[in-house]
Chains A and B, each alone.
Chain A
Amino acid sequence: MSTSDTVNAGYLESLLAGRPHVPASPLAWLNTLRSEAVDRVGVLTVPTQRDEEWRFTDISQLNRMSFHPVRTTVDLQAEEAGRFRIEEAASRLVFVDGVYAPHLSIIDTDNGVSVVNLEAGLAANAVALESCLGRYAEFRNEVFSALNTAFLQDAALVVVPQDVSVSAPVHLLFIATQKDVASYPRCLLLAGSGSVVTVIEDYVSLQEDAYFTNAVTEIVLAENARVNHIRVQREGMKAVHIANGAVSLARASNYQSVSVAFGARISRYNLNVRLAEEAECAVDGLALIAGRQLADTHTCIDHAKPHAMSHQLHKCIVGGGAHAVFNGKIMVRQGAQRTDSRQSSRNLLLTNKAHVDTKPQLEIFADDVKCTHGATIGQLDSEEVFYLQSRGLSETVARNMLTYAFGAEIIERIPVPSLKSLLEQTVLDQTTVQP
């Protein structure tokens, strides 16, 4: 065993040391799920850059820091959580350092959507959850999912019954308040057949010291369901944020997602999307980073069945000495004929020290498909700068505008107006260089 493996083992053990605090559930399957996950954590190691999936992303910092599970819960005042309020949202579940905070949560029980903490969900319908919870986000070979599952206790549970359509978004808010804490946010969204729902998964911080967020989200769309999923990662600038998302689309369902990464010293988002016949997805992302930040997005869109469509536009705006990584795999399985897949990775480097690694990856095992992909990395286009200058704008204003626009193209796709304008302002603030 190499030295780093020893370090990893010790590190994982130290994280697991807090686990006895997770009380046993009366549900045998849930206890089994957790103990399986604990077993996997015992076998798996924290990845290093020697692992192909992590070759661009150095998370050795995790080993040097000591995070502990949440021991005490912070009694957050309503005003402190209120600043993250999204006005359009009818329901809001708030988790403080991963722990459900009922007094900060607002639940609209009238619109037909069930938005509850896992505990209440299990009390109401444990049978339905047994077949879903932990069944989509692979944890047997993914150490961070395994850790999250080992700690599985509180979780945001959104269940949209068949044919229920709600326009008001559901806001799942995860607030980090303590330093050196490892928290395990968890979401499960079940969209019944023909249902329509918008969910905002939002990671924020009230402090600037280091902490570790290890999140897992599972989204299951039944036939003809439509889910808008907005993921906002605006963690503190010293945080480590690692998240795994798994999305399963049944026949003719539609998953539209926009994911933005602004915060965290190191962030990694793994998203796996699996499409059945005639399913459609749009998976768009924006990483806007500077300083010493690292933002890594790994996606895998799996065309398991024929006649499905996937569109992906991933953008990175990288300033300072920051480092962005994008790995976008498109898998078209044997028999998945008439697949229509478009992927584009576009990257804007604002400084000489900014760095991007982008790797589009197509694996096609069917012969009647339409798949396109492309990647660009560069500075602002001088023709575009000239065009704006020729309209009277200074070079600085022109560059600011084009940088803003580069990011805004993704933000524009967010179907929640107040969140959209908030994030547009964030992009504007971060892309504006004073003359």
Chain B
Amino acid sequence: MIYPDSKIVLEVRGLCASVNGTEILKGLDLTVRRGEVHAIMGPNGSGKSTFSKILAGHSAYEVTGGTVMFEGQNLFDMEPEERARAGVFLAFQYPIEIPGVINSQFLRLTYNTVQTHRDKEELDPLEFDDYVREKMKLLEMSPDFLERSVNEGFSGGEKKRNEILQMAMLDPRLAILDETDSGLDIDALRIVANGVNQLAGKDNAIVMVTHYQRLLNYIVPDYVHVMEAGRIIKTGDKELALELEARGYDWVGAECKAASEAAA
């Protein structure tokens, strides 16, 4: 929801980045304030996932220009774990499996690590068990998932629920959901979206990266951005997503090109 005079969580200016020498982001601008839900849409290869990984601090991407401020701090001064502790959360498109590490132990370690860095209380195993079970209800997850290895043998939907469970526990200021709807059937999509909606509040912000409009029926964005060739070329409200669904992406690019030619 858009709140008047809300604080800026994320301010991206002229971001350029490359991977293995190939430029992917070419001057991206974005401002996200507390309470807002943003959707970044765009065709495959437009740089959406690159952008979300750069925000989380993936080392494979080289930032070649521009700035990103998170809550007034230079994001690029922070290691990935420091960003997480400060409140950046990335829900992965493809969450990794960690056979041999029990989910409950993993969740408790990450929770307590982040709590410690926020000068908050850690939870012992019993307290944590109560806490995490409560959060799992939000995502209609069976407690059985606590005793299994992290994401191992989870279905696509179960992995995504486990991601949002981590989001619920780590209480981020900025949650980036990278293609969270991919691989979900309609029931799983509803559950995941419902979880996200309950976590959205006036003190945090959500950036959804998605190829399809489908997710936006469930998590309604305040802003919809269209990304193409490494830049945001159009911003609108939720109606824009419906238009994109009906007409595809090509017209946005054409419109943008025409506008820039007219300006020249």
Taking Cβ atoms with an 8 Å cutoff, the residues of A that contact B are: 381-384, 386-395, 397-398, 401-402, 404-409, 411-412
Contact = CB atoms under 8 A, between A and B. Distances in A.
A47 B98 CA distance: 40
A402 B106 CA distance: 11
B80 A389 contact: yes
Contact of A405 (B79, B101, B114, B170): B101
A402 B98 contact: yes
B113 interface: yes
Contact of B101 (A382, A390, A394, A404): A404
B60 A382 contact: yes
Q: Which of B59, B80, B84, B99 has the most CB of A within 10 A?
A: B80
Contacts of A394: 79, 81
A85 to B, nearest CB: 26
Interface string B56-91: 111110000000000000000001110111000110
Given A382-B60, A386-B59, A386-B80, A392 B99 contact: no
A406 B100 CA distance: 7
A393 B81 contact: yes
A58 B112 CA distance: 47
A386 B110 contact: no
Given A386-B57, A391-B114, A412-B100, 11 more contacts: A386-B59, A390-B80, A391-B81, A393-B81, A393-B109, A394-B79, A397-B109, A401-B98, A405-B100, A405-B101, A405-B149
Nearest to B151: A387
Contact of B113 (A384, A390, A392, A411): A392
A393 B110 contact: yes
Contact of A390 (B57, B60, B99, B100): B57
9 contacts: A382-B60, A389-B84, A390-B84, A391-B110, A393-B110, A395-B79, A401-B109, A409-B99, A409-B149
A404 B100 contact: yes
B96 interface: yes
A197 B227 CA distance: 62
Nearest to B89: A390
A431 to B, nearest CB: 11
B96 A389 contact: no
Contacts of A397: 109, 113
Interface string B135-153: 0000000000000010000
Contacts of B180: none
A392 B57 contact: no
B81 A395 contact: yes
A407 B98 CA distance: 11
Contacts of B166: 391
Given A382-B60, A408-B100, A412-B100, A389 B95 contact: no
B117 interface: yes
A287 to B, nearest CB: 16
B96 A390 contact: no
Contacts of B90: 390
Contacts of B60: 382
Given A382-B59, A383-B96, A386-B80, A392 B85 contact: yes
A390 B90 CA distance: 7
Given A382-B60, A392-B114, A408 B101 contact: yes
Nearest to A406: B100
Interface in B24-64: 56-60
B92 interface: yes
A402 B110 CA distance: 14
Chain A interface, DSSP helix/strand/loop, else mixed: helix
Contact of A389 (B57, B98, B170): B57
A401 B60 CA distance: 21
Contact of A401 (B57, B99, B101, B114): B101
Interface in B159-195: 166, 170
Q: Which 7 A-B pairs have CB atoms at the shortest separation, nearest pair first?
A: A405-B100, A408-B100, A389-B80, A392-B84, A409-B100, A391-B110, A392-B114
A268 to B, nearest CB: 26
A409 B102 CA distance: 10
B98 A384 contact: yes
Contacts of B85: 392
B54 to A, nearest CB: 12
A384 B81 CA distance: 13
A417 to B, nearest CB: 14
B43 to A, nearest CB: 24
Contacts of A406: 100
Contact of A384 (B83, B96, B149, B170): B96
Contacts of A392: 81, 84-85, 110, 113-114, 117, 170
Contact of B100 (A382, A386, A391, A407): A407
Contacts of B113: 391-393, 397
Contacts of A390: 56-57, 80-81, 83-84, 89-90, 92
B178 to A, nearest CB: 11
Nearest to B58: A386
Contacts of A381: 96
Contacts of A409: 99-100, 149
Contacts of A408: 100-101
A397 B117 CA distance: 15
B216 to A, nearest CB: 24
Contacts of B96: 381, 383-384, 387
B92 A391 contact: no
Interface string B88-127: 0110100110111100001001100110010000000000
B170 A391 contact: yes
A389 B170 CA distance: 13
A53 to B, nearest CB: 31
Nearest to B80: A389
A381 B97 CA distance: 11
B155 to A, nearest CB: 18
A389 B100 contact: no
B101 A389 contact: no
A383 to B, nearest CB: 6
